[in-house]
Structure 1
Amino acid sequence: MQRRHKLFVDYYENWIKLYKEGAVKNVTLKKYYLTLRWLKKLVPNLKTNELTRTIYQQLLNDYAKTHEKQTTMDFHHQLKGSILDAVDEGLIANDPTRKVIIKGKKPKEKKIKYLNQFQLQTLISNLELSSKINADWLILIIAKTGMRFSEALGLTAKDFDYANQTISINKTWDYKGIGGFQETKNKSSIRKIQIDWKTVTQFAGLLNNLDKNKPIFIDGKTYNSTINQILARHCKRVNIPQISIHGLRHTHASLLLYSGVSIASVARRLGHASMTTTQKIYLHVIQELENKDIDQVMRLLSGLN
């Protein structure tokens, strides 16, 4: 009997349900379903057995017409796992993803992602740090620690160790979904972040009478966009570049690197899975520091007679 081949969009949808639902976070799962919607738009009638290298490359090219190169790369990675499984199952004769070329639109002009030390100090001086927890305290703690937004929202009073001047990161808050505590991004994200004595003293007073098990920054539904708007108003008020709340994390890491803190230490503080991640994200900073090191080496050598 001749084998009936199903549409690739149907195969991919079933693959998501079988392998991804319940295995990945909701935010990641949504990316797979977004990829599915693009398949339905670009290759709605493509049968699984018809997926050749040429057709797959054309699919990527069509997607790349309206997306930047990195986004196209993500699209490819979200498809590749299902395609390799289809090859293993004998539904596709050969791996069509081999030696693909990733294209994409010219990237938009990137906004400034981080502040320099003077700009950050100016921002912090402008924060309205009242006697009760507010959004400005959230901005301050992210600027001082470099933690992720979801990690900061997941903080409770018991995560603060005043004696050892540390904050424990062991959970996050599901601000994109229905709320509630959830796991950290990865195992490396579970960590203790050292904080300065002034921040310790400030939060010790703020959190003294709060429920130690409830998130300190959550009061109803909290949106990333709302905090970004508050941060943008502060930046505009003091005439510094407007950055996002995630930009405070970039600012923290960049200032540490510029001050001579090792990449390994910065990676641990940020909760990166490896130093490679840190190096990739902060390549521009590292390159500037390398140029600075070369200048220092040349000055040293020129002084040797």
Structure 2
Amino acid sequence: MVCPRERGKIKGLIAHNPFKHEDFEELKLREARPKPNALALSPKQVDVFLAKADEMSKPGYAALFRLTAGSAIRIDEARHYEASDIDQQRGLLTITPKKGWTTKGYRYRDIPISKDTAEAAFAFVKTRDTVTLDDKAVWNEIQRVRKAAGLPQFSIHDLRRAWASAVHANGASLKQVSVWLGHSSVQVTERYIRVFETGSSGHEFLPR
């Protein structure tokens, strides 16, 4: 036999306010707390890292780090681009198909680069055969350099995120950044964009 209290719950007839009654605790509903956006490496931190890499890394690694920080190309793309893909006059690095290789999602694109990044791209083409470019080797070299520079732990992909965050903060639309990164959607890019540690929290925009 079902007691009146339980029968009322089954039929959806509860005499008490469920938001105040102890029966509500049985549901054990929890609303997830949104996590704050992760911090990106600031432009100053990136500069510190690149300067330290120039000082202590082999030229191939130093050029790779400058290339990634200045164009946000993936490491697999860096392994396959050619000098002919660099248009220094127009300031573009083109990611295009190669024999036996395609980029992620077949998304080929033109990425705007500075003169310094173009020089790093040419330097990397000349020196990349002198260094080991598998993921573990690149990770280990980044950790060696960033520790010497007194920086927090990060990966080469974080240089890509830092580039995206910086160009977006400087006015590039989310859609344009998404195209440059070769993302499948703007939603993916939204997860890339980070706030800088030295940036404003936005509190100054709150009503007084």
TM-score with structure 1 length normalisation?
0.47
What are the residue-to-residue correspondences of 1:125-136 with 2, within 5 Å? 125-128=51-54, 133-136=59-62
Q: Does the 8 A contact of 1:145 with 1:195 survive in 2?
A: yes
C-alpha separation between the residues in 2 aligned to 1:262 and 1:290?
19
Larger radius of gyration: 2
Identify which of 80, 104, 114 aligns with 1:196: 114
Deviations 1:9-65 (Å, cap 9, x if unpaired)? xxxxxxxxxxxxxxxxxxxxxxxxxxxxxxxxxxxxxxxxxxxxxxxxxxxxxxxxx
Identify which of 80, 92, 102 aligns with 1:183: 102
Q: What is the SS of the residue equivalent to 2:118?
A: helix
Q: Does the 8 A contact of 1:151 with 1:171 survive in 2?
A: no
Deviations 1:185-233 (Å, cap 9, x if unpaired)? 113x3001111122334555x479x6xxxxx624586311101111111
For structure 1, the 5+ residue unaligned runs are 1-111, 173-179, 211-215
Identify which of 130, 137, 149 aligns with 1:226: 137
| Residue matched to 1:254 | 165
Deviations 1:50-100 (Å, cap 9, x if unpaired)? xxxxxxxxxxxxxxxxxxxxxxxxxxxxxxxxxxxxxxxxxxxxxxxxxxx
| Residue matched to 1:21 | none
What percent identity do the matched residue pairs reach? 23
C-alpha separation between the residues in 2 aligned to 1:257 and 1:195?
15
Q: What is the SS of the residue equivalent to 1:118?
A: helix
Identify which of 174, 177, 181 aligns with 1:263: 174
Number of corresponding residues? 168
Ranked by relative contact order (alpha carbons within 8 Å, sequence separation 6 or more), the top structure is 2
C-alpha separation between the residues in 2 aligned to 1:207 and 1:167?
13
Q: What is the SS of the residue equivalent to 1:268?
A: helix
C-alpha separation between the residues in 2 aligned to 1:207 and 1:248?
16
Q: Does the 8 A contact of 1:145 with 1:193 survive in 2?
A: yes
What are the residue-to-residue correspondences of 1:141-290 with 2, within 5 Å? 141-171=67-97, 181-187=100-106, 189-201=107-119, 203-204=121-122, 206=123, 217-218=128-129, 222-282=133-193, 285=195
C-alpha separation between the residues in 1 aligned to 2:149 and 2:178?
31
- What one-letter code is carried by the residue in structure 2 that aligns with 1:116? S
Structure 1 residue 279: Cα displacement: 1.7
For structure 2, the 5+ residue unaligned runs are 1-37
C-alpha separation between the residues in 2 aligned to 1:242 and 1:150?
21
TM-score with structure 2 length normalisation?
0.67
